[in-house]
Structure 1
Amino acid sequence: MTGPADTGLRLSPNIADPDGFYAELIALHEGLSREESEALNARLVLVLANHVGDRDVLRAAFSAARNQDTTGG
């Protein structure tokens, strides 16, 4: 299933073991202040955006995140 404007953005669940992923993500933030956690999130976004690389896909992700549309609907 493609996402907004057929950019190839996946909005349906696509992570193997989503609970395990979430636990790892939360553990990554353990012991950090709010400011440190926010900086970590910003760095993570930039690393993943660089990995994606496609500006159209990234713009579609911006839109989906802003609209809280992460279910594909």
Structure 2
Amino acid sequence: MLNTDPNIADPDGFYAELIATHEGCNEDQSAALNARLVLLLANHIGDREVLREALAAARAAMR
């Protein structure tokens, strides 16, 4: 089951690190970095059902 409850220690600090990681990237590089990050985290999770839930939740948030 996908955990959507707050679960990151120091979320503001993590967000700052995420933004800093994109520093100096152009739009294409930033998109590629995000894609690699998604694939790394998806591999870490590994559970296809959880990944399906995450895909659906991300898509639903766009509506």
Same fold (TM over 0.5): yes
Gaps of 5+ in 1: 1-7, 69-73
Q: Deviations over 1:9-42 (max 9, x none)?
A: 1111111100000000000000000000000000
The sequence identity of aligned pairs, in percent, is 69
What's the counterpart of residue 3 of structure 1?
A: none
Aligned length: 61
User: Using the alignment, how far apart are the partners of 2:25 and 2:52 within structure 1?
Assistant: 30
Superposition TM-score, scaled by structure 2 size: 0.93
Gaps of 5+ in 2: none
Hey, which bits of structure 1, 4+ residues long, moved more than 6 A? none
Higher helix share: 2
What's the counterpart of residue 34 of structure 2?
A: 41
- The answer to whether the aligner puts 1:25 opposite 2:18 as a matched pair is yes
The residue matched to 1:40 in structure 2 has which SS? helix
One-letter amino acid matched to 1:35:
D
Q: Deviations over 1:49-69 (max 9, x none)?
A: 00011100000000111111x
One-letter amino acid matched to 1:13:
P
CA RMSD across the alignment: 0.5
What's the counterpart of residue 4 of structure 1?
A: none
